């Protein structure tokens, strides 16, 4: 986000603030951004009224060639498409469970176009007659919105109640990781959030970034604002200290802890104490595993118990280890430098593992510790000469955040049954 963009976002914040409050008070009603008037409804650039659209998903055991033949596309055209698409977007890159649409002029003619959608923002058009292939990036609109919530059982549920889901929860937690302990949130804790939401054709399609956040608990009110200039970019507290932790909380997203670090674990089958010196995160095979901090790969290897595993050295004090991988990511080998959040491999079940998971081990001075209980040293604040500029951006972001009301704490009602 450049400075110029920051100003335009500030303007957008003002424009969308009404919308945000509206969402906060009435989370079930979606916000509909204004659309430019269009003469005819189009889909993938084709007139909706003059074409037939059939959308399929390739099953994992299905052959694309067979499916296209069955759709009435000649073998000759399929071979030509295969050849021509290699440099643009190969039809061999079609993945199972991703939608592709076959388009005809009428219900019984043979298709004149196939459209494949690799993600929410892109589609690829394969014109069968002209053999033209085009990758189309879809336009989406980013709106600045606000939300607030009160924790009654868990942060996750409170955020769901506030109409939020998925990665925005992770992003808020990451943005405030060094000032709030999200593993020990309590009933009555409250949060406020200013964030980006993306819309396509008036429908929300996902989240962008968190812009600012506040969290109120019994130790006070904590803030995090996104600040960026030519040299620095990140989340900072009100004094300009980074609020993002040096280490990610987990090496996976949306995972659940299936077994915690426990040096006194009593093994239910072997009937004796076998310490568990890692934290297990259960996830499907193939789920990406992230490096939790910048570092250098020390080991990318295999052992009987660990299966395929990676060990990263972060500095003189800390190393992390990721066990039971299905496979390593490209270029992950000894001596390679990795960044925080970089994919280093996929969840698997190699070595001694009863189900697909990653056993995450955190080493401090060569000994394994519980990373969820570590207090990492605070990061250095922004240099003094950057602070005046930071304060300007901080204050304009805070103004928006402060305009969002915290939810009303419910006053306890006396039970009427005792009357």
Which residue shows structure tokens 């491999």? 345
- Considering only the stretches 87-95, 127-135, 244-252, 358-366, report the one whose residues sit in contact with Zn ion under the rule CB under 5 A: 358-366
- Return the sign of the alpha-carbon dihedral for residues 169, 386, 338, 90: positive
φ/ψ (deg, to 5) at 345: 180, -170
Helices (H) and strands (E) in the chain, counts: 6, 24
Least spacing, CB of residue 349 vs Zn ion, in Å: 12
Closer to Zn ion by Cβ: residue 224 or 255: 255
Residue 20 CB-density burial (10 A; 0-12 exposed, 13-18 middle, 19+ buried): buried
Least spacing, CB of residue 324 vs Zn ion, in Å: 8
Least spacing, CB of residue 248 vs Zn ion, in Å: 18
Closer to Zn ion by Cβ: residue 196 or 280: 280
Q: Pick the binder of Zn ion from 312, 358, 359, 400 (CB under 5 A).
A: 359
Cα–Cα distance measured from residue 49 to residue 43, given in angstroms and rounded to the nearest whole number: 10
Residue 191 CB-density burial (10 A; 0-12 exposed, 13-18 middle, 19+ buried): buried
Least spacing, CB of residue 343 vs Zn ion, in Å: 20
Residue of 169, 149, 145, 167 whose CA lies nearest to 158: 149
Q: Which H or E run includes 117?
A: strand 113-119
- Considering only the stretches 167-175, 206-214, 330-338, 351-359, report the one whose residues sit in contact with Zn ion under the rule CB under 5 A: 351-359
Q: Pick the binder of Zn ion from 280, 311, 328, 347 (CB under 5 A).
A: 280
Cα–Cα distance measured from residue 150 to residue 160, given in angstroms and rounded to the nearest whole number: 11
Least spacing, CB of residue 29 vs Zn ion, in Å: 44
Least spacing, CB of residue 130 vs Zn ion, in Å: 56
Least spacing, CB of residue 278 vs Zn ion, in Å: 4
- Considering only the stretches 137-145, 177-185, 272-280, 401-409, report the one whose residues sit in contact with Zn ion under the rule CB under 5 A: 272-280
Contacts to Zn ion from residues 383-412, by CB under 5 A: none
Closer to Zn ion by Cβ: residue 125 or 361: 361
C-beta nearest to Zn ion: residue: 359
Closer to Zn ion by Cβ: residue 120 or 256: 256
Q: Nearest-5° angle of CA 383, CA 389, CA 391?
A: 90
Q: Pick the binder of Zn ion from 278, 307, 348, 356 (CB under 5 A).
A: 278
Residue of 259, 253, 285 whose CA lies nearest to 356: 285
Q: What is the number of residues in the chain?
A: 419
Closer to Zn ion by Cβ: residue 16 or 359: 359
Closer to Zn ion by Cβ: residue 146 or 255: 255
Cα–Cα distance measured from residue 325 to residue 65, given in angstroms and rounded to the nearest whole number: 33
Residue 358 touches Zn ion, criterion: CB under 5 A: no
Q: Helix, strand, or coil here: 413?
A: coil
Least spacing, CB of residue 412 vs Zn ion, in Å: 42
- Considering only the stretches 86-94, 161-169, 275-283, 393-401, report the one whose residues sit in contact with Zn ion under the rule CB under 5 A: 275-283
Closer to Zn ion by Cβ: residue 278 or 307: 278
- Considering only the stretches 153-161, 214-222, 273-281, 328-336, report the one whose residues sit in contact with Zn ion under the rule CB under 5 A: 273-281
Least spacing, CB of residue 348 vs Zn ion, in Å: 13
- Considering only the stretches 122-130, 181-189, 355-363, 402-410, report the one whose residues sit in contact with Zn ion under the rule CB under 5 A: 355-363
Closer to Zn ion by Cβ: residue 179 or 306: 306
Least spacing, CB of residue 185 vs Zn ion, in Å: 25
Closer to Zn ion by Cβ: residue 190 or 277: 277
- Considering only the stretches 16-24, 182-190, 231-239, 271-279, report the one whose residues sit in contact with Zn ion under the rule CB under 5 A: 271-279
* Cα Rg of the chain (Å, integer): 26
φ/ψ (deg, to 5) at 281: -115, 115
Count CB neighbours of 114 within 10 A.
24
Any residues with CB less than 8 A from the CB of 248 and at least 6 apart, and which? 174, 290, 292, 293, 340, 341
| Distance, CA of 369 to chain centre | 27
Closer to Zn ion by Cβ: residue 111 or 278: 278
Q: Which H or E run includes 399?
A: helix 387-403
Binding residues vs Zn ion (CB under 5 A) = 278, 280, 359
């Amino acid at each position: 986000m450049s400075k110029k963009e920051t100003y335009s976002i500030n303007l957008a914040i003002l424009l969308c603030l009404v919308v945000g409050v509206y969402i906060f008070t009435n989370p079930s009603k979606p916000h509909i951004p204004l659309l430019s008037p269009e003469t005819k409804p189009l889909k993938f650039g084709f007139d909706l009224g003059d074409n037939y659209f059939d959308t399929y998903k390739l099953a994992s055991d299905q052959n694309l060639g067979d499916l296209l033949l069955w759709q009435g596309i000649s073998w000759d055209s399929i071979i030509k498409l295969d050849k021509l698409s290699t440099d643009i977007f190969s039809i061999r890159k079609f993945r199972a469970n991703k939608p592709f649409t076959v388009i005809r002029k009428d219900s019984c003619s043979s298709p004149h176009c196939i459209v494949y959608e690799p993600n929410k923002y892109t589609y690829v058009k394969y014109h069968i007659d002209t053999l033209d292939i085009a990758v189309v990036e879809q336009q989406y609109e980013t709106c600045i919105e606000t939300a607030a919530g009160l924790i009654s059982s868990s942060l996750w549920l409170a955020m769901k109640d506030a109409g939020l889901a998925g990665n925005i929860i992770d992003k808020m937690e990451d943005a405030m990781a060094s000032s709030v302990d999200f593993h020990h949130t309590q009933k009555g804790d409250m949060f406020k959030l200013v964030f980006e939401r993306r819309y396509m054709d008036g429908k929300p399609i996902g989240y962008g970034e968190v812009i600012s956040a506040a969290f109120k608990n019994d130790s006070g009110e904590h803030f995090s604002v996104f600040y960026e200039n030519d040299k620095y970019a990140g989340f900072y507290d009100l004094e300009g200290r980074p609020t993002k932790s040096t280490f990610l909380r987990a090496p996976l997203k949306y995972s659940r802890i299936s077994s915690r670090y426990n040096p006194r674990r009593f093994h239910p089958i072997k009937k004796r104490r076998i310490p568990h010196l890692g934290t297990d995160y259960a996830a499907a095979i193939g789920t990406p595993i992230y490096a939790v901090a910048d570092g250098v790969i020390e080991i990318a290897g295999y052992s009987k118990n660990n299966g395929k595993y990676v060990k990263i050295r972060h500095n003189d004090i800390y190393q992390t280890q990721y066990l039971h991988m299905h496979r390593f990511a490209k270029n992950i080998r000894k001596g390679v430098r990795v960044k925080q959040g970089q994919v280093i491999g996929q969840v698997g079940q190699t070595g001694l593992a009863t189900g697909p998971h990653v056993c995450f081990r955190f080493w401090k001075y060569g000994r394994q510790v519980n990373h969820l209980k570590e207090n990492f040293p605070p990061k250095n604040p922004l240099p003094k000469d950057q602070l005046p500029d930071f304060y300007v951006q901080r204050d304009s972001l805070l103004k928006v955040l402060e305009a969002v009301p915290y939810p009303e704490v419910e006053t306890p009602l006396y039970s009427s049954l005792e009357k």
